[in-house]
A and B are shown apart, each in its own frame.
Chain A
Amino acid sequence: MVNPLYMFILFLAFGFLFAILDKMGRKVTLTLFYGVLLANFIIPLYWIWGIFSGTTSGTEISTAGFMAPISINLRFGFEEIIIVLLVNFLGLLSAIYLSDKFKKSSINGMILFMVLLMSIDGLVMTRDIFNIFVFLEILSIATYSLIAIEKNRDSLSAGFKYMLAGGIASAFILIGIIFLYRFTGTLNLDDMIGKSHLLVGKAGFLSLYLFLFAILLELKPFPANGWALDVYQAVNEGLVAIIAVASSAAIFFVLYKFLPLVPSEYYGYLGGVGLVTFFFSNLIGLKQKNPNRLLGYSSIAQMGLLLATLSILKSFGSNDLIIFQIVGGLFINHFLAKAALFWLVGIVKKNDISAWTNLRTNPSLLIFLGVFILALSGLPPFPGFWAKWDFVMILASKGSYFSIIGILLASLFEITYLFRWLGFAMKKTDSTEKIDLPISKEFPIAISAIALLVFSVVTTYFFKEFSFIQILPLVGLVLMYLFGYLPVKVKGFVAIVIISTYAIKLYSLVSGLELFFAAILVVGSLVQIIATMYRSGKREGFYPFLVMMIIAIGNLVIAKTYLSFFFQWELMTIASYFLIMKGKEVTSAGLKYIIFSMGAAYFIMTGFAFAPVIPAINLSLINTIGMKHIGILSLSLLSIGFLIKIGSLGFHVWVPDTYNKADDDTTSYLSSIVSKAGIFGFFLLAVAIVKNASLDTELLLTIIGWIGVMTAIIASIMAAFQENVKKLIAYSSIGQLGYIILALSAFNHIGWLAALNLTLNHMLFKLMIFLAIAGVIMRTKTTNMYEMGGLIKKMPWSYISVLMGIIGLSGVPPLAGFGTKWMLYNALIERGWYLQAGAALFASGIAFLYLFRLIYTVFLGQAKPEHKDIKAAPLWLLIPQYIAIAVVMLISMKPILLLKPLSEMISVYIPTNLGWVGDKLITVNGYWNGSQVMNVTMIIFGIPFLWMLFITRKVQKVKQFNIVFAAERPDRPETTHFAHNMYAHYNKAMGFLVTPKLAIKFWDRVSEWISSSGATLRNFYSGNGQTYLLQIILYFIILYSIMGGK
């Protein structure tokens, strides 16, 4: 093994030599420079290999010929090797990124850069506290000097503020060190830890506190961190990557080394410092538009989170492996993603995140940005995801409610500003502004992304032991990307093949309720892939995420653990988000979607966190979730999560916008498939409840039931007032999902049967309607219903599809929709929910209003002249609709085919109280013979129809305007088509229920309140270096009085 001291020697020797060697030409020094960096990257790599192959376990290095504690000693153990490896790796990448700077500017840059890296390495390795001070000062001086190389005002003034803060920090650390020495008589850290009993009383604590505070200060705790933000904003991105990431990492490691010296009762306070920083930095970051400063807030927040996790886990006494996994995961995540994001910012050179639209011209950069933002947001499969999950689980097991709320809320803030940024970058514009992108700048970013992905795979595969099928969504994503260059039709075909293969595999794994949901979700999706082929061109990035989403949703059904469920859930969220983002003008809708989805995800996560761990047997969650008693808290949290996802009343505000702005076929997926994932979640809950009879869930179920029925009513009223066809259907979706949870929460056999049927029916009907409307929108190029009209003549096939859809949704016999409504009322009456039944009937009455509006204003009434030449909808769109119609007809004519097996699936959980006489279904109160109703209806429709055909042989077809209209012959469809503000009268009567837009106002207030509190708080950062100093001093005093006040 190479002695790690050679790293120092290489850095220092060449540092000194460069001044001379540069005379031989910059090429020589540059070559040597990168050679040194590479060598210093390889040395720790070699050691890592040694550790994994078992030939070494690290080493202790003494200096000056003495053993510790007499001499300064360096440790090169496993942790140190990893950090040094990462630091030198980052140093190398950053140097590559900065290569054009190094080529041009003076040799001092390279020298300082090497000194900087050396000091970071030293900081990590040294075990002597005075040596820590020395390396810290070298680090600071090198950094200050590097900042000053760029002689612009901003970076100089930021650097000066940095120096003031750094000066104070070094003063504190120095006093701390001398007192620590005074009390323990040693400077060696290990020796000192052995003598930590000497550090007692106020004086002992004060000396520890001084040292600790200085280290904390270098980690930029809120609010004593204004100087750091200025540095992040002003300094060259290549250098900031090192400051924000590598230096911070080393300082964090110093804290890690120092912690054993700190009595464990103070760990909680450190955790508090971290949490406060994480929370407030993200809160203030919400207002930030400058990408550099935004990353600054994010960096500070992430360091706060690292501090919080480390101290809190330590205070819980968690074992080292867990700490390593959680802190390490967050660390790697931040380390790679943040540095690369800084580089990215340096390439794009836009001072406002809303101007980042030019990233579209360079898809690779856009992909990188996406990867890093997903990683920072703690989304799977990146290491941050696993770490956050594990951490929340531990916090929950210790009952740290406030920490969980703080961390998740702050994460939501972070997601908000990161995804706002991403949203701007993905915005569709006509901008063709090219980004100047030398390979030396893209290379480090790409390497970081790859490294991040490698770490993700390693965590997913090795630490979490995920099977192949669980990561199949990601495999699908990558696989489809390989086909990116092909035209849509081919890609659609490939997607069908992939999903079919997956469906066959899935079929072998599921039974009972799982089979039902798998069929709805996966087969329903499969059929809709055909529809997606109606577009022309390439639709880049559409199919990869589509495949990913479908597989993730399918995997939800077979997930065996909470984690695996949540993993698939998040994958589904990500994929659907990117699908939505393919739409036009989708920036704000997409942001709303991701915020609400992540909010839902966090509720689900905490719900799982407070649930008892289910036994690890090889069965999917729906079979095992009932084996342990899940408490009411957990059930409520999960319910809220799923309620948000299905857009129930109060949480529905994201739905209309998202559905409206997403691509038309994506909307169909969102409504017919993705929302069903939430329903599946509710079924999981229901199973958990039904298996624990002892739990009193009466109140919870009653609340959910009322939410369901109120959702149905309000959404139906809202739908009736929409002018935009997609919004109308979106509200209709919200309302229909309300029925499903109403039926489910009735909690009897027929109620569950109704819920399952409603789920299937809603999938089919919404598929038909959305795809039909997709065709209409494609042909008419508008979403306003009053601009359509009379399309039945041009698009009869779409008309029939919508007709079937609205008959089904409204519950008019003889189609299957009636059966579901009938079962719903049976369930409610059986349960004794009479008023809810009345309310549900009310809602279904209102449904007629919007359904009629949908079909009438689009397909009936007066056709517009500009639509006189439009063609029927593309066949691609019609095929899935007619497949769905065929299924609807089948289950309408023979409901028993579906109902009997479903009833058997349910009877596993709730014993059946239904009876069958032939095709007749008999419930406690009522009876229904679907087949007979169908037959009678066909006869009573058929006979008059034949009669009519017989007697009206001379029917004269008339033209559009051949109507008698108050002695006038209208000739303008615009004034004759009754469509705009169709239910003005209804609005007068019932509008008071929906016009206050309470939910929208509420969420607007919430977001306004949050962002203005962020805006107020950021006034802390006045820009004055002296104020920053004062803040530091005050922070020092306040923290001391909190920590040492006892």
Chain B
Amino acid sequence: MTTQIFIKIGYACISIAVMVAYGLLTGGVMARIRARVYGRYGAPVWQPFLDIFKNLNKRTAISHGMMFYLGPIFRFAGGLGTYLFIPAVFGSVLFANFSGAGDIFLVMYFIFFGQLGMALGAGEGGHPYSGIAIARGLAQMSAFEVPFALAVISIVVQYDTFSITEIVAAQQGGILHWTMFTNPLATIAAFIALLGMNMQSPFDIVIAPQEIPIGPPTEFPSQFLSMLQTNRGLFLVAKLILFMNLFYGGATSVWILFLKTFIIYLANLFIGVSFPRYRIEQAIKFFLKYPTIIGIIAIILMAMK
């Protein structure tokens, strides 16, 4: 029993390490692509690794208090947990993670764990922009969760299970078994939600790279920032894997995983670089209009089957 647990933990560590590396690299690549689209040269693709390394070795760190200190830890734990409760590679023991602990709803709610902790940590910093950004983020989240939730419910109805593993299993046997083709409306609704979730344009006012140049990332210096940056890679991958599992047939090997998630993200980025930005209330209205209606239709279609 104990050995099993240690093996499991060992697997989890490997799985995490691989995914962090992949996530950071993907982030670097995407940043590069984005730069090229905008006509810049762009940073090297390993820039995220350099950033983390640099930040880890800074000599001073400041803290605003207990919750501030815990914020990045919550955030990272949230990323870790989200990833660990998803079976990453179908049929792989190494990448099965702790998916036996809970189903799709656990993952959906665990996403909030890190966000909430981070929000509280940033909140203690006392920076008004933290509060503003979080308020916007939460408002947008409450909106994009709707089409996403509807899409999830639709496929839950479709496959009659909450288990991600079983949902992936049901999509095996050819590309036409993917949810993307068997339930295209849910996929569309979820894909739009993913834009919001990844804070891609036109839904990027939450991080508002231009207007709020500082705020959480600058308030959290050195080692705190390194932890946040590490999480950024992992959390991104976790979300992409979740989508891959739910809508794009999952992955039977880690290479397919890399390929599929990369394409999903690329598609995401493709839209992200093409659109101007919504104001937050426009974003909310948008999410609660078309994607939500699409999601509802998706549910009704599945329920009628």
Contact = CB atoms under 8 A, between A and B. Distances in A.
A936 B98 contact: yes
B110 A834 contact: no
A841 interface: yes
A826 B162 contact: yes
A816 B121 CA distance: 22
Interface in B30-58: 56
A792 interface: yes
A797 to B, nearest CB: 12
Contacts of A937: 77, 81, 113
Contacts of B28: none
A940 B126 contact: no
A670 to B, nearest CB: 27
Contact of A929 (B100, B113, B116, B163): B100
A985 B61 contact: no
Contact of B145 (A837, A842, A928): A842
A793 B65 contact: yes
B305 interface: no
Nearest to A860: B123
Interface string B215-227: 0001100111001
Interface stretch (A43-51, A59-67, A688-696, A919-927): A919-927
Nearest to A959: B64
A820 to B, nearest CB: 11
A940 B81 contact: yes
B120 A812 contact: no
A803 B141 CA distance: 20
B139 A986 contact: yes
A790 B138 contact: no
A948 B72 contact: yes
A1044 interface: no
A853 B116 CA distance: 12
B286 to A, nearest CB: 9
Contacts of B101: 928-929, 932-933, 936
A925 B156 contact: yes
A788 to B, nearest CB: 13
A860 B74 CA distance: 16
A24 interface: no
Nearest to B115: A848
A941 interface: yes
A937 B256 CA distance: 28
Contacts of A861: 123-124, 126, 128, 131
Given A860-B123, A933-B106, A965-B128, A926 B62 contact: no
B285 A989 contact: yes
A309 to B, nearest CB: 54
A811 B102 CA distance: 14
Contact of B77 (A822, A928, A944, A977): A944
B168 to A, nearest CB: 15
B236 interface: no
A811 B109 contact: yes
Contacts of B103: 925-928
A927 B162 contact: yes
B137 to A, nearest CB: 10
Candidate in A832, A955, A988 with the most chain B CB atoms within 10 angstroms = A955
Nearest to A977: B128
A879 B32 CA distance: 55
Contacts, number: 248
Contacts of B105: 821-822, 825, 926
A945 B100 contact: no
A277 interface: no
A962 B84 CA distance: 37
B257 interface: no
Contacts of A803: 120
Nearest to A842: B146
Interface in B61-114: 61-67, 69-70, 72-74, 76-77, 80-81, 84-85, 98, 100-106, 109-110, 112-113
Interface of A: 790, 792-793, 796, 799, 803, 806-807, 810-813, 818, 821-822, 825-826, 829, 832, 834-835, 837-838, 841-842, 845-846, 848-849, 852-853, 855-856, 860-862, 920, 923, 925-929, 932-933, 936-937, 939-941, 944-945, 948, 951-952, 954-958, 960-966, 970, 976-979, 982-983, 985-986, 988-990
What 3 pairs between A and B have smallest CB-CB spacing? A926-B162, A860-B123, A978-B131
Interface of B: 9, 56, 59-67, 69-70, 72-74, 76-77, 80-81, 84-85, 98, 100-106, 109-110, 112-113, 116, 119-120, 123-129, 131-132, 134-136, 138-139, 141-143, 145-146, 149-150, 153-154, 156-157, 160-163, 214, 218-219, 222-224, 227, 279-282, 284-285, 288, 295-296, 299, 302-303
25 contacts: A792-B65, A792-B66, A796-B66, A812-B113, A829-B162, A841-B153, A842-B149, A846-B142, A852-B138, A855-B123, A860-B120, A926-B102, A928-B106, A936-B81, A944-B73, A944-B80, A948-B69, A952-B222, A960-B126, A965-B127, A985-B279, A988-B281, A989-B139, A989-B285, A990-B288
